[in-house]
């Protein structure tokens, strides 16, 4: 196994030979064997162990065994203790998810602080098969069936091509001691049910199950690459614009596809949407129709789909006194300056009769029922109608602010001033308001 791992690293993970490496070690057989193998290969390694304090003295025994192994091999070891149960309760998580979150966050923090290049975990092909079956059982897309990635940012899993049987054989032949986690024998968890109940049956049906599985994974990963290339090609044509607030997609590009639903799934799956027929129907829905996930929303706007993150923050009204010459707003800086005359016409600048204003001025989001008297027009107009006539999307409408004086709108900011506050031949004092 040592020679096979060396060949695998030299062929596929050669960067490890020149890297500073942190090994995530539990004290169990997989991570202990990984440590011995890497030590034999003379890789530059240190150990990191998490004590989750979930199994009483057994947890402390695991920690002690890791420290002894580090001393035996002359390796640096880092140990972190966690109050896992309290963390899970506080964050309303299962113990498994809490432990995983604590573990990976600490590994990354440790690697960043001490400048480790990579973190190795001891996942093997049996783990990969279990993950595949869990995802398959719960329902997933193609990516959920492609297994655990061998390299994922700074996390590397060099034992993925090897079986648990091969790892155990190496440990016994080389008289390597390890700790057994008794919870692994329990069928309380889905992974253990698969490991102890289902997978042995599958191996009876096909003794070469793991080899067949690895071949299948390789084929699925090749297919995933093809799908990714196809989706990237679509996005290069479908994305009209993209900024911090939203991404705009051209609907016609999706409708021209033979199977738009499949592409919609690939494009929007990472944003929490799950009702794919609803997403498909959005292509032909009336303008303004919305779909929501927990964190994002998708809006039909004429010939486009708009994707934006849901912002649950409420923006408060801003009061502006007569003495203020500059204020900071969510959309930029507003400057208030005296002027002698009107110079040019720009949407980001208005000139008003200063004596018609009542303070404090109020800067706020527009609301249903708001109306103003558009400069250059006779009569009044509802803000909602004005924004519709301007052909603003729902998202853009939500970002419109108004500047008010005693409940009367002075300015639909960066769009249009109100006729009631305009400069006339009788104006004595002109106030220039500029958005930057």
Compute the distance between CA of residue 320 and CA of residue 411 in angstroms, rounded to an integer. Answer: 14
Query: What is the C-alpha to C-alpha distance for residues 303 and 286, in angstroms, rounded to an integer?
Result: 10
Instruction: Determine the Cα angle at 267 with ends 311 and 281, to 5°.
Output: 85
Say if residue 230 carries a ligand binding annotation.
Answer: no
The two three-digit tokens of residue 97, written as one number = 């998810």
28 a known binding residue? yes
Instruction: Tell me the DSSP string of 298-336.
Output: EEEETTEEEEEE---PPPPPEEE-TT-SEEEETTEEEEE
User: What is d(CA 240, CA 252) in angstroms, rounded to the nearest whole number?
Assistant: 11
Burial class of residue 24 in the structure, from the number of CB atoms within 10 Å of its CB (0-12 exposed, 13-18 middle, 19+ buried): buried
Strand partners, 96: none
376 is annotated as contributing to ligand binding: no
Which of the 8 DSSP states describes residue 391? T
**Residue linked to tokens 């297919």:** 223
How large is the greatest C-alpha to C-alpha distance in the chain, in angstroms?
A: 101
DSSP 236: H
Q: Does residue 360 have a cis peptide bond before it, meaning omega lies within 30 degrees of 0?
A: yes
26 is in an annotated binding site: yes
**According to the annotation, is 31 in a ligand binding site?**
yes
List beta partners, residue 434.
335, 349
User: Three-state SS for 78?
Assistant: strand
For residue 410, CA distances in Å to 55, 315, 347, 349, 374 come to 67, 20, 13, 12, 10
What residue numbers does the annotated binding site cover? Answer: 26-31
What residue numbers does the annotated binding site for ATP cover? Answer: 26-31
């Amino acid at each position: 196994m040592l020679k096979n791992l060396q060949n695998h690293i030299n062929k596929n993970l050669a960067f490890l030979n020149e890297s500073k490496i942190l090994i995530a070690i539990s004290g169990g057989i997989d991570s202990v064997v990984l440590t011995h193998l890497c030590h034999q290969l003379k890789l530059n390694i240190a150990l990191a162990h998490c004590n989750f304090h979930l199994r009483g003295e057994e947890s402390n025994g695991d920690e002690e065994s890791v420290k002894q192994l580090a001393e035996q091999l002359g390796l640096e070891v880092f140990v972190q203790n966690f109050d896992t149960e309290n963390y899970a309760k506080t964050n309303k998580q299962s113990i498994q998810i809490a432990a995983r979150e604590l573990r990976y966050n600490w590994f990354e923090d440790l690697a960043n602080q001490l400048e480790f290049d990579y973190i190795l975990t001891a996942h093997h092909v049996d783990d990969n098969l279990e993950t595949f079956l869990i995802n398959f059982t719960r329902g997933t897309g193609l990516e959920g069936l492609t297994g655990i990635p061998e390299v994922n940012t700074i996390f590397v899993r060099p034992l993925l091509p090897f079986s648990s049987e091969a790892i155990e054989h190496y440990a016994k032949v080389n008289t390597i001691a390890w700790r057994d986690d008794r919870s692994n024998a329990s069928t309380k968890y889905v992974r253990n049910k698969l490991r102890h109940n289902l997978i042995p049956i599958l191996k009876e049906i096909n003794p070469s199950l793991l080899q067949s599985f690895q071949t299948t994974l390789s084929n699925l990963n090749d297919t995933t690459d093809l799908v990714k290339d196809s989706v990237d090609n679509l996005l290069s044509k479908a994305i009209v614009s993209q900024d911090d607030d939203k991404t705009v997609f051209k609907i016609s590009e999706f409708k021209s596809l033979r199977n738009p639903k499949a592409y919609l799934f690939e494009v929007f799956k990472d944003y929490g949407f799950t009702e794919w027929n609803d997403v498909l129907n959005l292509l032909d829905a009336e303008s303004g129709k919305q779909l929501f996930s927990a964190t994002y929303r998708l809006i039909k706007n004429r010939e486009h789909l708009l994707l934006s993150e849901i912002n649950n923050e409420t923006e408060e009204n801003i009061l502006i006194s007569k003495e203020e010459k500059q204020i900071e707003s969510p959309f930029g800086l507003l400057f208030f300056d005296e002027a002698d005359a009107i110079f040019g016409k720009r949407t980001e600048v208005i000139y008003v009769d200063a004596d018609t204003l009542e303070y404090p001025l109020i800067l706020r989001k527009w609301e249903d029922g708001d109306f103003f008297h558009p400069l250059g027009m006779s009569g009044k107009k509802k803000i909602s109608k004005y924004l519709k006539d301007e052909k603003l999307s729902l998202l853009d409408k939500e970002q419109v602010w108004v500047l008010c004086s005693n409940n009367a709108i002075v300015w639909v900011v960066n769009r249009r001033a109100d006729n009631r506050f305009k400069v006339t031949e009788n104006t004595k004092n002109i106030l220039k308001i500029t958005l930057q």
